[in-house]
Structure 1
């Protein structure tokens, strides 16, 4: 069951949106093409860096078994 306060908030949200005047944003001009291209390129680079770091941290590491340091008499490859 949804709490009554959240239902009231959902009912008042359209009223609050209707009170806002369109175009009330001051200084929100369109982005220039070089700035937009730079933002997209920076986002792509940062995404690749994050993917690379996650890949490097999440890959399984090869751990030597405990018996690799032991030398046996009848095992010619280990001596």
Structure 2
């Protein structure tokens, strides 16, 4: 069985990327440690903010239950 073409493409992509010549940013160094720490912290804060907003929006709203005196056929314990 041969792998799907998109899987083969994904497996060969790093090989093709290593064969490309260096661009104008070939001398750029890695990110500095404070910048990297700031990016990770900002990502964590944004993720927690999204989780908090989803939690608040999906929380069931408490409504006051109004007791009625109607008795229905399929409601055991009422009547």
How would you bin the TM-score normalised by the shorter chain? 0.5 to 0.7
Structure with more helix by fraction: 1
Structure 2 partner of 1:51: 51
Structure 1 partner of 2:33: 33
Q: CA deviation at 1:25?
A: 4.9
Pairing of 1:1-79 with structure 2 (within 5 A): 7-11=4-8, 17-20=14-17, 21=19, 24-27=22-25, 28-67=28-67
Any gaps of 5 or more consecutive residues in structure 1? 1-5, 69-79
Q: Given the two structures, how large is their TM-score scaled by the length of structure 1?
A: 0.55
Q: For 1:64, what is the secondary structure of its paired residue?
A: coil
Q: For 2:4, what is the secondary structure of its paired residue?
A: helix
Q: CA deviation at 1:38?
A: 0.7
Q: Given the two structures, how large is their TM-score scaled by the length of structure 2?
A: 0.55
Q: For 1:52, what is the secondary structure of its paired residue?
A: helix
CA RMSD in angstroms comes to: 3.1
Q: For 1:62, what is the secondary structure of its paired residue?
A: coil
What is the number of equivalent residue pairs in this alignment?
63
Structure 2 partner of 1:76: none
